[in-house]
């Protein structure tokens, strides 16, 4: 009698995983997970509840029953997406990769996705304050007395938010997983199925129609402040309702303390009265226009600190105490009608001491005031000169600004143009197009108050056909022959663009320099459009580092490898590794082969980098190419293709979609893995 072996199911292999790995992945990628949850949650919750629920969903993603010393039993991890193939896969213990493509992150991401989609299935009649099932139960964080809102975006962001409101949760999830997480269609379908979506394939098809025809623009908008629940603005809730609710308690409390208050008053009267301790008295000097700090007109030429503290007060309304007072009071307590925005990591609290006045005047139909707050922030207040529109209050970080990053501030934006207030040390400003590297700069008109004529802004969506920048030159009174580039990425302070040349043979490591040379402009012509993904994220400077040059197989042509690093005012950086293959056009966009957030790569604290990509030769053959920085002495490939080569570059024949692991050896010792 034959013996039948029990059937084995490959999708339910049991692993044990440590909660520590999942927790580490959650903490490391917390902003990314909260943004994903925010996009997937039903817009009907309202922006305030959606912000809090997104944080709650992510914070509750770890299994409640699991402790740090006891691991839950869960199905094995799907290899394709880093997410579970069935219901809740898990990372592989202590060796799990916590990166965005790793098992631990994929496991946490599916739990977040499952919980966010559960809100879509909640009955409409479900009372918000009654106990709910675990997936729907309200949880920390809880905010009393305040309403939280992500940064307001523009018209395009609003249109995208409305489009997402018109579809169901699985479609929003498919859209976010593709554009934010970078998953392909099969990976999205698999992840949605594991999260309990009813029709994953249909959700993917419907999501593919969202954001057309500019999917790159939609991706940039999803990464903007409009969909970032980690960077929020605050407003009070219904003050009258709160007063009614606490009035009875307040009366009772008042009766308890009235006797004591009267005794204190009698005692103070016996002592001859006391000082006025009202809050208004505390903040009165800070909010008094007469107390504003003002810098002498020529101070910038006689100081070693050339930054916003050296800017004089300019504009036609610097003596208008009424305007200055309104601006200061709006800063201390913005009215409901005011639009408030802040770059990530910027506080909007009132000033602790009288701020410095930089500008007060009329620009493009608005009265504009610019303040500088103790070396930390620049604040812009604008009120319309006519009509009933509300005021605007914008905050931006500017700590440790210098000659270049403190050289200009956006004073007005209208339509597709912006006007800048230039630093007093700027001479002969010009404008140029990064996508026309051979075209010289054009003179930029500047008024007597330091405000420029309108400068075209880079388009946030659609075709990337031009990229306007300012080419500024410092006065010879502080430095000779110093020209530099800045560009507008949507914040008050424009972004400083630099370039690090290719490594020289036997020469020491190169340092970033101004991006005004021919070599720098040619490199920026092919990478400028990648700056779109950085809009509105509080970027201070962006450097293009040409870390390697590689001779390509089957010919004499060469390709360049660039690491484009964006540093923010608050510290964290973002890296794009771009491959510049030979192109018929000098402005053909480079291929982005790696994208990493919150990393020290390609900075002075991360001087080693290795990256790879698939490349097709003119013959039709496919290769895996890799390149490393100057300290790389050997590159090895394993996986679908094996090979090795001495030096900082590597090429091997491989199928188009070959899965290859790349590692490198460093001159000083140690190993380096490829960035993804």
Model pLDDT for residues 208-230, shown as the tens digit of each residue: 888 777 777 788 888 888 888 88
Residues 256 and 207 in one domain: no
Confidence band, pLDDT 50/70/90 cuts, at residue 647: very high
Residue 100, both tokens: 């965005």
Model pLDDT for residues 243-280, shown as the tens digit of each residue: 444 454 454 454 444 444 443 333 444 333 333 333 34
Last residue of a domain, one of 222, 255, 274: 274
Residue at 389 is within a domain = no
Residues 6+ apart with CB under 8 A from 394: 340, 341, 342, 379, 380, 382, 492
Model pLDDT for residues 474-521, shown as the tens digit of each residue: 999 988 889 999 999 999 999 999 999 988 755 566 789 999 999 999
Q: Cα 541–546–550 angle (5° rounding)?
A: 160
pLDDT at 181 exceeding the cut of 80:
yes
pLDDT on residue 535: 92
Model pLDDT for residues 600-618, shown as the tens digit of each residue: 999 988 999 999 999 999 9
Confidence band, pLDDT 50/70/90 cuts, at residue 237: low
The more confident residue out of 518 and 158 is 518
Residues 250 and 172 in one domain: no
Residue at 422 is within a domain = no
pLDDT on residue 76: 37
pLDDT at 149 exceeding the cut of 70:
no
Confidence band, pLDDT 50/70/90 cuts, at residue 650: very high
Distances (CA, A) of 272 to 162, 268, 277: 63, 6, 15
Residues 106 and 62 in one domain: yes
| Mean per-residue pLDDT, 32-45 | 91
Pairing mode of beta strands 468-474, 483-487: antiparallel
| Mean per-residue pLDDT, 320-327 | 96
Residue at 122 is within a domain = yes
pLDDT on residue 122: 55
pLDDT at 91 exceeding the cut of 50:
no
Residue at 468 is within a domain = no
pLDDT at 173 exceeding the cut of 90:
yes
Residues 156 and 254 in one domain: no
pLDDT on residue 515: 96
Residue at 500 is within a domain = no
Model pLDDT for residues 432-482, shown as the tens digit of each residue: 999 999 999 999 999 999 999 999 999 888 889 999 999 999 999 988 889
Residues 129 and 267 in one domain: no
pLDDT on residue 276: 31
Distance between CA 192 and CA 187 in Å, rounded?
9
The more confident residue out of 283 and 658 is 658
Residues 171 and 258 in one domain: no
What mean pLDDT, rounded, does the chain reach? 82
Residues 206 and 267 in one domain: no
pLDDT on residue 154: 64
Residues 117 and 226 in one domain: yes
pLDDT on residue 453: 97
Its pTM surpasses 0.85: no
Residue at 595 is within a domain = no
Residues 243 and 230 in one domain: no
Model pLDDT for residues 266-318, shown as the tens digit of each residue: 344 433 333 333 334 434 567 899 999 999 999 999 888 899 999 999 999 99
Residue with tokens 């490939």: 637
Last residue of a domain, one of 202, 234, 266: 234
Closest CA to 675 of 583, 564, 600, 594: 594
Residues 18 and 54 in one domain: yes
pLDDT on residue 559: 96
Residue with tokens 């917390």: 30
Confidence band, pLDDT 50/70/90 cuts, at residue 235: low
Model pLDDT for residues 350-409, shown as the tens digit of each residue: 888 899 999 999 999 999 999 999 778 999 999 999 877 889 999 999 998 999 999 999
| Mean per-residue pLDDT, 417-429 | 96
Residues 116 and 260 in one domain: no
pLDDT on residue 595: 94
Distance between CA 485 and CA 487 in Å, rounded?
7
Domain that holds residue 47: 10-234
Residue at 290 is within a domain = no
Distances (CA, A) of 624 to 182, 523, 593, 649, 664: 21, 23, 12, 11, 15
Confidence band, pLDDT 50/70/90 cuts, at residue 152: low
- Number of compact structural domains in the chain: 3
pLDDT at 239 exceeding the cut of 60:
no
Last residue of a domain, one of 224, 255, 274: 274
Residues 147 and 171 in one domain: yes
Residue at 84 is within a domain = yes
Distance between CA 5 and CA 262 in Å, rounded?
89
Q: Are 549 and 560 in contact (CB under 8 A)?
A: yes
């Amino acid at each position: 009698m034959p013996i039948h072996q029990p059937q084995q199911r490959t999708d339910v292999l049991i692993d044990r995983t440590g909660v520590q790995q999942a927790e580490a992945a959650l903490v490391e990628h917390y902003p990314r997970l909260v943004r994903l949850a925010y996009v997937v949650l039903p817009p009907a919750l309202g922006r305030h509840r959606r912000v809090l629920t997104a944080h709650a969903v992510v914070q509750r993603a770890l299994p409640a029953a699991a402790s740090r010393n006891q691991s839950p039993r869960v199905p094995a991890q799907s290899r394709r997406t880093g997410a579970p193939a069935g219901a809740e896969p898990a990372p592989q213990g202590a060796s799990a990769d916590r990166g965005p493509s790793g098992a631990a992150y994929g496991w946490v991401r599916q739990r977040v996705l499952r919980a966010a989609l559960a809100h879509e299935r909640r009955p409409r009649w479900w009372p918000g304050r009654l106990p709910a099932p675990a997936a729907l139960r309200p949880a920390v964080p809880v905010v009393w007395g305040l309403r939280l809102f992500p940064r307001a975006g523009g018209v395009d962001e609003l249109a995208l938010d409305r489009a997402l409101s018109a579809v169901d949760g699985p479609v929003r999830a498919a859209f976010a997983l593709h554009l934010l997480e970078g998953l392909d269609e099969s990976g999205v379908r698999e992840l949605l199925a594991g999260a309990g979506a009813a029709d994953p394939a249909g959700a993917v098809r419907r999501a593919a129609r969202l954001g057309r025809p500019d999917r790159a623009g939609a991706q940039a908008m999803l990464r903007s402040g409009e969909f970032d629940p980690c960077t929020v603005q605050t407003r009070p809730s219904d003050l009258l309702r709160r007063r009614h609710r606490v009035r009875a308690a307040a009366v009772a409390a008042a009766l308890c303390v009235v006797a004591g208050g009267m005794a204190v008053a009698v005692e103070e009267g016996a002592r001859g009265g006391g000082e006025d301790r009202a809050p208004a008295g505390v903040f009165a000097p800070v909010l008094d226009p007469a107390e504003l700090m003002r810098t002498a007109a020529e101070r910038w030429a006689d100081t070693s600190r050339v930054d916003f503290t050296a800017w004089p007060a300019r504009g036609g309304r610097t003596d208008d105490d009424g305007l200055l007072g309104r601006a200061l009071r709006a800063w201390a307590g913005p009215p409901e009608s005011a639009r408030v925005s802040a770059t990530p990591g910027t506080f909007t609290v009132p000033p602790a001491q009288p701020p410095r006045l930089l500008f007060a005047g009329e620009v493009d139909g608005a009265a504009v005031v610019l303040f500088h707050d103790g070396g930390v922030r620049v604040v812009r207040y604008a009120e319309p000169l006519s009509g009933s529109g509300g005021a605007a209050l914008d905050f931006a970080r500017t700590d440790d600004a210098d000659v270049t990053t403190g050289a200009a501030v956006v004073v007005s934006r209208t339509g597709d143009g912006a006007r800048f207030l230039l630093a007093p040390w700027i001479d002969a400003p010009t404008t140029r197009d990064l996508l026309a590297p051979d075209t010289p700069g054009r003179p930029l008109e500047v008024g007597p108050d330091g405000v420029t004529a309108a400068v075209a802004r880079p388009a946030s969506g659609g075709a990337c056909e031009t990229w306007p920048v300012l080419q500024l030159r410092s006065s010879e009174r502080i430095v000779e022959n110093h020209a530099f580039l800045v560009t507008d990425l949507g914040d008050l302070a424009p972004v400083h663009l630099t370039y690090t040349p290719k490594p020289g043979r036997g020469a020491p490591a190169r340092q970033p320099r101004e991006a005004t040379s021919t070599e720098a402009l040619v490199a920026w012509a092919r990478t400028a459009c990648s700056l779109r993904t950085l809009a509105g994220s509080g970027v201070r400077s962006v450097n293009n580092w040409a870390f390697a040059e590689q001779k390509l197989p089957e010919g004499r042509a060469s390709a360049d490898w660039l690491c484009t690093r964006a540093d923010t005012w608050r510290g964290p950086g973002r890296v794009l590794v771009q491959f510049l293959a030979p192109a018929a056009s000098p402005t053909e966009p480079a291929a982005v082969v790696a994208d990493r957030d919150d990393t020290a790569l390609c900075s002075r604290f991360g001087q080693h980098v290795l990256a790879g990509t698939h490349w097709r030769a003119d013959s039709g053959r496919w290769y895996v190419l890799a390149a490393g920085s100057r300290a790389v002495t050997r590159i090895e490939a394993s996986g679908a293709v094996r090979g090795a080569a001495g030096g900082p570059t590597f090429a091997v024949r491989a199928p188009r979609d070959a899965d290859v692991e790349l590692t490198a050896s460093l001159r000083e010792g140690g190993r380096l893995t490829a960035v993804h």
